[in-house]
Amino acid sequence: MKKDVRIALTFDFDAYSLWIGTFDSNSPSMLSRGEFGPVGVRRILASLEAEKIPATFYIPGHTAYAFPKTVEAVAAAGHEIGHHGWVHENPASVSADKERWILEKGFEALDKVAGIRPTGYRSPAWDNSPQTVPLLLEHGFEYESSMMGSDFQPYWCRVGDSWTKDGPYVFGKPVDLVEMPVAWHLDDFPQFEYVVGKSSTNQGVITPRDLLQMWKDEFDFLYDRIGEGVFIATMHPQTIGRGHRMLVLEQFIDYVKDKPGVSFTRMGDYVRHWKQGKTPSLPADTAES
């Protein structure tokens, strides 16, 4: 079987915005964890440069204003920059008007700081509202990356799905917006970060070898059993950028890089590759497909 496996390393450069927006924190100590983000980005850029690997960074507008030189360095290195909200708000917890404002404020910051108009979107908290997909279409996005209905194959987003607890699921209309699926088990943050939140605690702080093993096993399944698709890993510079974790990221790159048919991709490049010859359709095995 001919192999065509593309590895998409993605980095959510949240910096302060995660602690201010998602965790609603006023603690300088908590925010300082985000201040480590630019340190992590510099290490990541060096590792990617050493291997000539293209990657994708999702950057909230708030981060762009806080750390403009780091954002410029990401852009100058040729990596894709995607939209990641303004201050890491959860779109499902704001009004439709506020969600539109957040999108526009994020665009404005990335334009002012790096002269970039992203075509990819990743929701902070990987949560979407019913308005998210229509808003992304209206703003010209090609893809979004916050949902989990697939693993190694992109799929078409839909508008107008509906459901009740006493009737069948109704599929909406597939639209020209590609989903690049994510997964919590391929994300560094829940595995590593010890966070005492207002309503819960995430213990985190596992050995990075556990994450490396999950990455390798997922990759092996894709490579050996399926042979074609995209492996999307999600990392956060403030998290993966710590020394012992950087070593594991580099070990994963070493594990995959020389296998026949494996290459690294930016997310938008994979979307355009996958879309060729396809038109929006429902997933296989749905009642209406």
- Which positions touch Zn ion (CB under 5 A)? 12, 14, 124
Query: Least CB distance from residue 235 to Zn ion, whole Å?
Result: 10
Alpha carbon 98 to chain centroid distance?
22
Query: Least CB distance from residue 14 to Zn ion, whole Å?
Result: 4
**Terminal CA-CA length for the chain:** 28
- CA–CA separation, 211 vs 152, rounded Å? 18
Name the residue nearer to Zn ion (CB basis): 12 or 80: 12
Closest residue (Cβ) to Zn ion? Answer: 12
Name the residue nearer to Zn ion (CB basis): 186 or 262: 186
Place of tokens 């002012």: 112
Query: Least CB distance from residue 9 to Zn ion, whole Å?
Result: 15
Name the residue nearer to Zn ion (CB basis): 14 or 218: 14
Query: Least CB distance from residue 2 to Zn ion, whole Å?
Result: 36
Query: Least CB distance from residue 19 to Zn ion, whole Å?
Result: 11
- CA–CA separation, 226 vs 223, rounded Å? 6
Name the residue nearer to Zn ion (CB basis): 12 or 218: 12
- DSSP assignment of the chain equals ---EEEEEEEEE--THHIIIIIS----HHHHHHHHTHHHHHHHHHHHHHHHT---EEEE-HHHHHHSHHHHHHHHHTT-EEEE--SS---GGGS-HHHHHHHHHHHHHHHHHHH----SEE--GGG---TTHHHHHHHTT-SEE----S-SSS-EEEEE--B--SSS--B--EEEEEEE----GGGBHHHHH--EE-SS-EE-----HHHHHHHHHHHHHIIIIII-EEEEEEEE-HHHHTSHHHHHHHHHHHHHHHTSTTEEE--HHHHHHHHHTT----PPTT-TT-
Name the residue nearer to Zn ion (CB basis): 91 or 124: 124
Name the residue nearer to Zn ion (CB basis): 208 or 237: 237
Query: Least CB distance from residue 120 to Zn ion, whole Å?
Result: 14
Name the residue nearer to Zn ion (CB basis): 124 or 208: 124
| Length reported for the chain | 289
Name the residue nearer to Zn ion (CB basis): 118 or 124: 124
Query: Least CB distance from residue 226 to Zn ion, whole Å?
Result: 28
Query: Least CB distance from residue 37 to Zn ion, whole Å?
Result: 10
